Chains A and B, each alone.
Chain A
Amino acid sequence: MSAYILPILFIFLFAYCLHKKINTYDGFVAGAKGAIKLVVEIFPYIASILIAVALLRASGITNFLAEILSPVFNLLGIPTQLVELVLLRPFTGSGSYGILQDIFLQYGVDSYISRCACVIMGCSETIFYVATVYLSQTKVKKLLYAIPVALVCSLAGTIVACLICKVI
């Protein structure tokens, strides 16, 4: 059923553009132009974070942390294989895409673990990154309760995600 959602939305959008007499081809090209620039801008961040994450994993530190913490996460219904993703998600968006890719390769895209990981990615954000970048152009130094609230919600979302993926 959900396989139809995207194509239908796209058809609706293109039909609407036709109705509004917009040149869809030119519009699409104009938007797509931004993609390379965006990727060039984020490549250094992705590379640095992946390098840091690779070193962390090669040194066994993340495994060690995941092992210590996995009983706690298991208690909340979060599978051990996802602990690393859950731990790194608040810090790195692109890095967690890297971990997601690893999970795809290791367990198969359509496995429970991979689907869980996707839902977790979908309902959480790189909290520290968002807070830093969003406030970078303001004078705000004190975030008050924003970060703790966001972290609590992320954890709750992860628990919900693991539950739902068992059902749907």
Chain B
Amino acid sequence: MMLSSMLVLLVINPAAVLSEMISASTDALKLCIELCAVYCVWLGIMQLVELSGLGEKLAEVLRPAIRKIFRVDNPDTQKIIALNLSANMLGIGNAATPMGIRAMQALDDGSGKANFAMIMLIVVNATSIQLLPTTIIGLRASAGSSNPADIILPTIIATFCTTALGILLVFLVDKFKRRRR
């Protein structure tokens, strides 16, 4: 990807290569500083959610759904999945990642193939069940939006559609595969 674009640039504008690269990495640094501010606020809030025991309660609420959707019975694995989903719902993908990795480890059966629960977890994470798109709201606020939170409702509707479709498709493909076997 980088090579092909460099080759094209070599022909049309060789002087632009280094300057483009450096200006991009400057942009990256600026973005990181902004993201750092956003994460600072949300990680602080998340810590309070955890300390107050609300996180544990959230996991309790999600448990029945997790049992049905992921077909997982192990309570420890259920809790890790619940925490992963909760962080996702709050829109903090980076907080969800460590939980996702732990859940995958717990679900791994060593066969080298992804099993039903693992595929479901990938699809659910990939369709991003966000109730509060916090990072985006933060970025909108710092970009000077007049109402940074007005994308909450559309996002909830869209994310509900994609996640429902994802879960449905995984169930359907799984059923189809079993029938063929």
Contacts and interface: CB of A to CB of B under 8 A. Distances in A.
Interface of A: 2-3, 5-6, 9-10, 13-14, 16-17, 20, 22, 24, 27-36, 38-39, 42-43, 46-47, 50-56, 58-61, 93-94, 97-98, 100-101, 104-105, 109-110, 115, 118-125, 127, 130-131, 133-147, 149-150, 152-154, 156-157, 160-161, 164-165, 168
A5 B152 contact: yes
Prevailing SS type, chain B contact patch: helix
A50 B24 CA distance: 6
B158 to A, nearest CB: 4
Query: Which of A24, A30, A46, A55 has its CB near the most chain B CB atoms (within 10 A)?
Result: A55
Contacts of B165: 152-153, 156
Contacts of B119: 143-146, 149
A136 B101 CA distance: 8
Interface string B132-174: 1101110110011111011111110111011101100110010
A122 B130 contact: yes
A134 B31 contact: no
A106 to B, nearest CB: 12
Contacts of B162: 123-124, 153-154, 156-157, 160
B29 A43 contact: yes
B53 A20 contact: yes
A6 to B, nearest CB: 6
Provide the main secondary structure of the chain A interface: helix
B27 to A, nearest CB: 6
B24 A47 contact: yes
A135 B113 CA distance: 11
B129 to A, nearest CB: 9
A53 B24 CA distance: 8
A132 to B, nearest CB: 10
Nearest to B105: A137
Contacts of B123: 146, 149-150, 153
